[in-house]
């Protein structure tokens, strides 16, 4: 009597969190890009120009936020004064 060979088992798929994160990614990372000096090709380095544009946009956004905060504080102060005035007027109605 001969024992039959066992069938091939399917490959076990790793279901750990690390394996799930790594699915669909390259197993070896790509090499870093070299730092190129673009001043040979352009009059203005596009990275520097992009950085300047980003800084200008941040400056404008900060200024807008600062003005909005000032307006909100003025409104809150105005409403506080109105409520205080109203409270002082209504305080002695029962005397």
Other beta carbons less than 10 A from residue 68's beta carbon:
10
- 28 within a domain of the structure (yes/no): no
pTM value surpassing 0.75: no
Q: Which pLDDT score is estimated for 24?
A: 73
Indicate if the pLDDT at residue 95 is higher than 60. no
- 49 within a domain of the structure (yes/no): yes
Q: Convert the pLDDT of each residue in 28-52 to its tens digit.
A: 777 777 776 666 777 777 788 899 9
- Greater confidence (63 vs 30) lies with 63
Total number of domains in the chain: 1
- 30 within a domain of the structure (yes/no): no
Mean pLDDT of the chain: 83
- 51 within a domain of the structure (yes/no): yes
- 72 within a domain of the structure (yes/no): yes
CA distances from 61 to 54, 68, 72 (A): 10, 11, 16
- 61 within a domain of the structure (yes/no): yes
The residue range of the domain holding 63 is 38-90
On the 0-12 / 13-18 / 19+ scale of CB atoms within 10 A, 44 is exposed
- 77 within a domain of the structure (yes/no): yes
Q: With bands split at pLDDT 50, 70 and 90, how would you rate the model's confidence at 92? A: low
Element (DSSP H or E) covering residue 85? helix 46-90
Mean pLDDT of 62-89: 95
């Amino acid at each position: 009597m001969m024992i039959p060979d066992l069938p091939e088992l399917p490959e076990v798929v790793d279901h750990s969190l690390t394996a799930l994160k790594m699915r669909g990614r390259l197993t070896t990372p790509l090499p870093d890009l070299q730092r190129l000096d673009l001043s040979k090709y352009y009059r203005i380095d596009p990275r520097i120009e992009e950085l300047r544009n980003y800084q200008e946009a941040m400056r404008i956004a900060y200024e807008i936020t600062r003005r909005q905060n000032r307006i909100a504080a003025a409104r809150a102060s105005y409403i506080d004064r109105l409520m205080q005035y109203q409270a002082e007027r209504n305080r002695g109605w029962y005397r």
